[in-house]
């Protein structure tokens, strides 16, 4: 059957047009229509004047509930998918507790911070953002880090990420961001990847995203484990004390085991070998009694600091460097129990930024204001009823009393005659002006406007600060990530547009990416609403390598063994790893294991074809001469060694393993350590505390 002209046109390749662009007062770009172009409207057909900013009181005021366009846009977006989450669909969670260090009554009346040593039940869900439930764990992506604290004054949800900034400054742009990063609608791919035209088209037209792009193109977006990544509340909140005095606060979760990520080549191979790598790691560590732990730290500051800081504290694309305000530890989070049932708990848990206890309040961050408005819609759509708080994982663990009743799946209703208040029966709960939640009485004034504050307009300076704060190795990884992602973009104009932004961040970065993409003539730097600054100092807190662990605790060594391996040396290695707080996993030619030199059977966890070295933090080769000779003929064994070397891991080996090293193309360096004695094992473990031998990377040229 012949296509109609309309259908034929719809199947033609998209064409990049020069768009009419106008810059708002906050530096945001607006694609505006002329008299010949289609005019953006609401679903009711009403023309839209501004699709970039929510309606606020003044340029820095709170978002207004009367903003029908934002309400319609976010309402429709929240209901796009059933039953899985639109974003953060692939998640994994665990139970635990939060333990308060000292009273913070000076800053907040939140009950959770009143008594030192008190433990509060917690549930934490980690997730990727862009992929579906069936996607893989090691996608290059933001990681959700959502914490539900079951306090004595109700549930407190700190719904954050492993990155402290975000792509956009105003929540009205969130549907567009997610539409752009998700699979392209005409072809339904790529899945769980940002390396495609739509995403980079959106980003290249959104200068406010440049700081976030530096983070997501860094190794922060491919963490080694949930246990080895930071979490952030992203937004500026308020603490409010018993005297109704306000202190601004930002939340940081810092892992006790230090930071660690993988490299991209490794991530790709992990996704093939074990798409559940992060899930399995959390499951194994908790069930082994090696409980993950984070410290909650807060950055506290007053209005005077907010007014004097170089950037707007309401801008979610900015950070306050730790060198300016040092995060103060206020408690620890420990995960010590896996859910009894994944669906009942991890899948049905509902997080909402608006869930805060008395003593914690919101700022006018426009992204936070929009999230507060949006999340209730999301839970209603996903969980099917306004009674989602009746599901045990979402139910408060403190007494609760209200007059809400009926609805789908109601598990409880008010008891007695009165289901309303006020009533004359002396029945039911009553409000409590002193104990109840009170919003901070901040003064607001201004016109009702759709504007971006001019203080939000600097989109490049902190992006540059992040880049120069990385080690040379990390900077190289950012350039490699950008090159890879943009190499998947089929439209040259988009690639060039992105390079024009990179040149505003760092000339060397922009030039490197351009050269790798084969862009012969550098584009001019992108027009900047505010001239980028080059005087912001580097911040060591922004580097993963500079914030690694001081031990090998919590890590895993893959030990490749063969028949006839030295049983005594293997036992010494296992004992040393246990003392370090690390574990080892036996990899063998057959999953049934091998017979060691003393005749004992060494059981294997993995066979060589299913246990590649990408699954481990370091490797050891405990082979007999015959075993090494045989394994050197097997591609999987050669890859086991070659990948470990290419990924800059430390490699210990028995003398007999040399033929396999030679076949794998391994050249001796300080990270390839012969094992012959207890002293050699000690040297190996001391080296492993560095996690990687980055000095090797220029030689392997991944």
Same domain, 357 and 263: yes
Nearest Cα to 615, choosing from 662, 666, 560? 560
Residue with tokens 């490749």, as numbered in its chain: 560
Residue 61: beta bridge partners? Answer: none
Pairing mode, strands 594-595 and 601-602: antiparallel
Could you tell me the CATH number of the domain that includes residue 599?
3.40.50.880
| CA 384, 385, 391, 395 torsion-angle sign | positive
> How far, in Å, CA of 418 to CA of 410, rounded?
18
- The predicted pLDDT at position 18 comes to 57
Could you tell me the CATH number of the domain that includes residue 483?
1.20.1370.20
Same domain, 561 and 539: no
> 3-state DSSP: the chain helix, strand, coil percent, rounded to 5?
35, 20, 50
Same domain, 234 and 358: yes
Is 88 one of the annotated active-site residues of the chain? yes
- Position 582 in a domain: yes
- The predicted pLDDT at position 41 comes to 81
- Position 196 in a domain: no
With residue 56 as reference, give the H or E element that holds it: strand 56-57
pLDDT per position as a tens digit, 198-235? 999 999 999 999 999 999 999 999 999 999 999 999 99
Structural domains of the chain, count: 3
Domain limit, last residue, from 521, 545, 569: 545
Same domain, 269 and 382: yes
Nearest Cα to 674, choosing from 554, 566, 589, 582? 566
Same domain, 142 and 278: yes
Same domain, 215 and 357: yes
CA angle at 368 for the pair 380 and 355, rounded to the nearest 5°: 50
> How far, in Å, CA of 685 to CA of 692, rounded?
12
Task: Tell me the whole-structure pTM to 2 decimals.
Answer: 0.91
- Position 189 in a domain: no
- The predicted pLDDT at position 458 comes to 98
In terms of residue numbers, what domain contains 670? 552-700
Domain limit, last residue, from 377, 394, 411: 394
- Position 6 in a domain: no
Same domain, 521 and 610: no
Same domain, 222 and 306: yes
Tell me which of 88, 235, 459, 647 is the catalytic residue.
88
Consecutive sets of 10 residues in the chain, 702 residues long: mean pLDDT of each?
37 55 83 80 80 91 87 80 81 98 97 97 97 95 98 95 98 97 95 97 98 98 98 98 97 98 98 97 97 98 98 98 98 98 95 94 96 91 88 91 85 86 84 87 92 96 98 98 98 98 98 97 96 97 96 97 96 96 97 95 96 98 96 97 98 97 96 93 97 95 74
Same domain, 378 and 504: no
> How far, in Å, CA of 636 to CA of 641, rounded?
9
- Position 225 in a domain: yes
- The predicted pLDDT at position 19 comes to 62
- Position 421 in a domain: no
Same domain, 144 and 236: yes
- The answer to whether the beta carbons of residues 615 and 273 sit under 8 Å apart is yes
Same domain, 219 and 287: yes
For the chain, how big is the Rg over CA atoms in Å?
Answer: 27
- The predicted pLDDT at position 13 comes to 45
Is 211 one of the annotated active-site residues of the chain? no
- The answer to whether the beta carbons of residues 145 and 191 sit under 8 Å apart is no
Domain limit, last residue, from 545, 562, 592: 545
What secondary structure does DSSP assign to 185-225, as a single string? TTTTB-SS---SHHHHHHHHT-GGGHHHHHHHTSGGGSBS-
Tell me which of 53, 69, 155, 161 is the catalytic residue.
161
Same domain, 541 and 631: no
CA angle at 376 for the pair 373 and 382, rounded to the nearest 5°: 135
- Position 430 in a domain: no
- Position 179 in a domain: no
């Amino acid at each position: 059957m012949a296509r109609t002209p309309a259908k034929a046109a719809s199947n033609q390749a998209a064409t990049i047009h020069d768009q009419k662009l106008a810059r708002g007062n906050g530096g945001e770009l607006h694609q505006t229509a002329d008299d010949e172009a289609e005019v953006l409207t609401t679903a009711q057909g009403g023309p839209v004047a501004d699709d970039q900013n929510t309606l606020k009181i003044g340029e820095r005021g709170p978002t207004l509930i009367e903003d029908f366009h934002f309400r319609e846009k976010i309402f429709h977006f929240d209901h796009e998918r059933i039953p899985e989450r639109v974003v953060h669909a692939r998640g994994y969670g665990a139970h635990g507790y939060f333990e308060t260090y000292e009273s913070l009554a000076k800053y907040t009346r939140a009950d959770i911070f009143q008594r030192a040593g008190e433990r509060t039940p917690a549930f934490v869900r980690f997730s990727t953002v862009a992929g579906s439930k069936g996607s893989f764990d090691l996608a290059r992506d933001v990681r959700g880090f959502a914490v539900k604290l079951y306090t004595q004054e109700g549930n407190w949800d700190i719904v954050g990420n492993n990155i402290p900034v975000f792509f956009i400054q105003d929540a009205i742009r969130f549907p567009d961001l997610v539409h752009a990063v998700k699979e392209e609608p005409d072809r339904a791919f790529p899945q769980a990847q940002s390396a495609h035209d739509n995403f980079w088209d959106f980003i290249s037209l959104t200068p406010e995203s440049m700081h976030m792009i530096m983070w997501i193109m860094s190794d922060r977006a491919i963490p080694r484990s949930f246990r080895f990544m930071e979490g952030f509340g992203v937004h500026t909140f308020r603490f409010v004390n018993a005297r109704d005095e306000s202190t601004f606060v930002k939340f940081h979760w810092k892992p006790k085991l230090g930071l660690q990520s993988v490299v991209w080549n490794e991530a790709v191979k992990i996704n093939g070998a074990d798409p559940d790598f992060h899930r399995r790691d959390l499951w194994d560590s908790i069930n082994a009694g090696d409980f993950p732990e984070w410290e909650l730290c807060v950055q506290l500051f007053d209005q005077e600091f907010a007014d004097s800081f170089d950037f707007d504290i309401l801008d979610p694309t900015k950070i306050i460097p730790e060198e300016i305000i040092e995060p103060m530890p206020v408690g620890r989070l420990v995960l010590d129990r896996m859910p009894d049932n994944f669906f009942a708990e991890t899948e049905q848990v509902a997080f909402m930024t608006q869930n805060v206890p008395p003593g914690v309040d919101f700022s006018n961050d426009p992204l936070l204001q929009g999230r507060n408005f949006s999340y209730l819609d999301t839970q209603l759509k996903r969980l099917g009823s306004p009674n989602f708080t009746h599901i045990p994982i979402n139910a408060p663990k403190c007494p609760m009393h209200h007059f809400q009743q009926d609805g789908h799946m109601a598990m409880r209703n008010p008891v007695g005659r009165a289901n309303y208040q006020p009533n004359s029966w002396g029945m039911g709960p009553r409000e409590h002006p002193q104990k109840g939640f009170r919003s901070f009485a901040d003064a607001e004034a201004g016109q009702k406007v759709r504007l971006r504050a001019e203080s939000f307009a600097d989109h490049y300076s902190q992006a540059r600060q992040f880049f120069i704060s990385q080690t040379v190795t990390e900077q190289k990884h950012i350039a490699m990530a950008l090159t890879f992602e943009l190499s998947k973009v089929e439209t040259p104009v988009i690639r060039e547009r992105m390079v024009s932004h990179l040149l505003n961040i760092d000339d060397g970065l922009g030039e490197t990416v351009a050269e790798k993409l084969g862009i012969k003539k550098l584009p001019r730097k992108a027009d900047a609403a505010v001239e980028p600054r080059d005087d912001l100092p580097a911040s060591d807190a922004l580097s993963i390598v500079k914030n690694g662990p001081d031990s090998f605790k919590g890590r895993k060594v893959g030990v490749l063994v063969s028949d006839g391996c030295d049983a005594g040396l293997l036992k010494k290695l296992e004992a040393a790893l246990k003392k370090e707080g690390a574990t080892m996993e036996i990899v063998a030619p057959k999953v049934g294991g091998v017979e060691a030199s003393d005749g004992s059977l060494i059981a294997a966890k993995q066979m060589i074809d299913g246990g590649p070295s990408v699954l481990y933090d370091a490797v050891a080769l405990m082979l007999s001469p015959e075993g090494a000779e045989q394994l050197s003929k097997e591609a999987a064994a050669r890859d086991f060694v070659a990948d470990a070397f290419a990924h800059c891991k430390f490699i210990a080996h028995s003398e007999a393993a040399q033929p396999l090293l030679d076949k794998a193309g391994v050249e001796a360096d300080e990270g390839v350590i012969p094992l012959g004695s207890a002293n050699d094992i000690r040297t190996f473990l001391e080296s492993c505390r560095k996690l990687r031998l980055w000095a090797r990377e220029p030689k392997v040229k991944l």
